[in-house]
Amino acid sequence: MSRRQGFGRGGNNKNPPNPPKANNGAQTPPAVYQPQPLATASAVPQSSSVASNLTTDVVPNNEDAPKYFFQEKYAPLNVKGNFLTLCACPKNVELGEWLAHQIVEQYRLLHGMLQVIQEVNTVTGLPLCNENTCPTMSAGRLTYTWLVDGRAAKISAPKFINRVEKWIVSKIHDPVMFPTEPIQGAPHTFASGDVATPPASTPIPAGPTNLNASLTTLTGQDWIGKSSGFPPTFYKDCQGIMKQMFRCYAHLYHGHWLDPFWHINRHEMLNMCFVHFVTVAKYYKLVAEKEMEPMQPLIDLFIKQEKIPPEAIAGHWVSQEAAGTPAAAPAANPPAA
């Protein structure tokens, strides 16, 4: 776990990447990914549920700015290895417990990255991501919204991120969604391999299970986590949490990759956290493909390099019966669905 420490700033500062030069010495702009236009808000059919379903708007978010993080030479990781060994559920661990562990771990890594942009500048007295620099929660052409009184509203990125973090923490500490007490008479295996007692330290994943097995086969239950006391909505709740975490990553890249991550030499660590996140998201089908569009060029690059392993791309098939279909009770001021 020591390789993931050091989220603070300082040391090994670099100058911004320079665009490549042509043969005559003149500078030419680097190759920049240009995303295709997405549907506008006006294209959404008008109905009573529009406000609750609307998640993004198309906005002019300076798409002419170079997206260096979509280029291979700017996309190294600070570690090597197969992230599937950190992702696949060990054979002796109940899947609900393992997904709960994955959610907590992914939030821990994301929180470390968010702290980089939340650090206060001693000169301005403001964090790097503030109301002036990031008046909306944007990622390229997309602007993420927050449900306010049942309607989608644009709020600043720091306010959005703060609400997301509080929302995730409230979910993780909710004993209904993340139960800590084992079911009476049921064997209870934790992510560390211990039985009946929680792990004393951060769990270390064992070897992966059969990578071709579906989530339904792994659980053998009516829904994921049933045998460990997780509610029928647990898997859907995990999807909701991972979706909001992805949006935070998308903003970190589109809004802050150059400043501060490149300048303080933390872009490789950001890439490592993102690859780990996407591997988990794809392996357990926790984030929809449509949701990943703002970061798709980088994801495609990592897939091509097999930093996101092929087994994760194949993922697990999840049936409605395995995932559970009842709707979760709405949280106060939740992020847009």
With CA atoms as reference, report the closest residue to 230 among 141, 326, 305. 326
Is 173 assigned to a binding site? no
Instruction: Give CA–CA dist 110/196, Å, rounded.
Output: 30
Is 256 assigned to a binding site? yes
Q: Please, are residues 260 and 12 in contact by the beta-carbon 8 Å criterion?
A: no
Residue with tokens 């929809």: 288
Is 251 assigned to a binding site? yes
Give backbone dihedrals phi and psi of 151, rounded to 5 degrees, phi first: -125, 145
> Tokens for 106?
């992914």
Q: By CB neighbour count within 10 A (0-12 exposed, 13-18 middle, 19+ buried), where does 230 fall?
A: buried
> Tokens for 196?
């009946």
Residues annotated within a binding site: 129, 134, 251, 256
Residues annotated within a binding site for Zn(2+): 129, 134, 251, 256
